[in-house]
Amino acid sequence: MARGKARLPPRWFIKTFWHVHRRIVRASRGRRGLWPARPGKWGALWLTTTGRRSGEPRSVIIGYFEDGPNLVSMAMNGWGVAEPAWWLNLQADPQAVVELAGGIRRGVLGRAAVGEERERLWRRWRELDKNLDSYAARRPRETAVVVLEPANEPRVGPVSPIAIETVDPRGSRTVTR
C-alpha cells in the first residue's frame, strides 16, 4: 500500500455531497447525475438493494467500471471505517437493480471478488484512481471489490424503467424500451 495518506475532504462535506447528488438524480429521474464508465474513467450508477432489516428498497449512487458484462464497484463508504449499508444489504440478498446513464435498468447479482479476480480488479481500480491504496489504508479492514453480475431475468426496481437491458448466459444484450 502507499505510504502517505491521500487527502480527503471532511466527512461532513462527503455526506452533504452524497445527499445533494441523490437529490439531483431523483429530481431529474436519472437524466443527470449518472454517467457511463469510459476508458480510463469510472462511471456512476444507481443501485437499489433490499434492506436487510426492513425488506424495503434502498438506493445509493456508487462508482463503477465495466469488466465484460459485469459492473465492478468497491464497498468503501467514502473511505469511512464502517461498511456501507448497500454492501451489507447485498450480502444478505444479492439480488439488486442498477440504473445506468440513459435510464437503462437491469437486474444484477452482487458478490465479493476473491483471490486473483480481486487482485486483477483492484489493479484496474488503481489505474482509475492513483490514490486508491492510500485511501484504502484509512480503513481497518480490506475493502471489498464488489462484482455486479447480470441476473438471468430482468428485475424492475421500484420506479418504472425507461429501458431494461437483459443479458443472457452467453453475454448477448437486449434493450427493451
Q: What is the pLDDT of residues 23-44, one digit of tens each?
A: 766 666 666 678 788 888 989 9
Q: Is residue 5 part of a domain?
A: no
Task: Tell me whether residue 3 is in a domain.
Answer: no
C-alpha radius of gyration, the chain, whole number: 16
Residue 137 CA to residue 156 CA, distance in Å, equals 37
Residue with cell 458484462: 69
> Could you tell me where the beta strands, DSSP code E, fall in 12-159?
43-50, 57-67, 70-75, 95-99, 104-112, 144-150
Give the pLDDT band (50/70/90) at residue 130: confident
CATH number at residue 98: 2.30.110.10
Rounded Cα–Cα distance for residues 7 and 86 (Å) = 25
Q: In this structure, is residue 141 part of a structural domain? A: yes
CA distance 10 to 108: 33
* Residue of 114, 86, 100, 75 whose CA lies nearest to 161: 100
At residue 176 the predicted structure's pLDDT band, cuts being 50, 70 and 90, is: very low
Calculate mean pLDDT across residues 134-142. Answer: 83
Query: What pLDDT does residue 96 have?
Result: 97
Q: Is the pLDDT of residue 175 over 50?
A: no
| Per-residue model confidence as pLDDT tens digits over 82-103 | 889 999 999 999 999 999 988 8
> What is the grid cell recorded at 39?
476508458
Residues 6+ apart with CB under 8 A from 42: 63, 64, 65, 125, 128, 129
DSSP alpha helix (H) spans, 29-107: 85-92
Q: Which three-class secondary structure state does DSSP give residue 116?
A: helix
**Number of domains into which the chain is organized:** 1
Place of cell 459492473: 71
pTM of the model: 0.73
- The mean per-residue pLDDT over the stretch 138-149 comes to 91
**pLDDT at residue 135 tops 70:** yes
Amino acid 117: pLDDT: 97
19 occurs within a structural domain: yes
What's the mean pLDDT when you consider all of the chain?
79
pLDDT band of 150, cuts 50, 70, 90 = very high
Q: Could you tell me if residue 1 is inside a domain? A: no
Residue 4 domain-assigned (yes or no)? no
Amino acid at 113: A
Spell out the residues 6+ positions from residue 77 whose beta carbon is closer than 8 angstroms to its own.
Answer: 83, 84
Domain that holds residue 110: 11-176
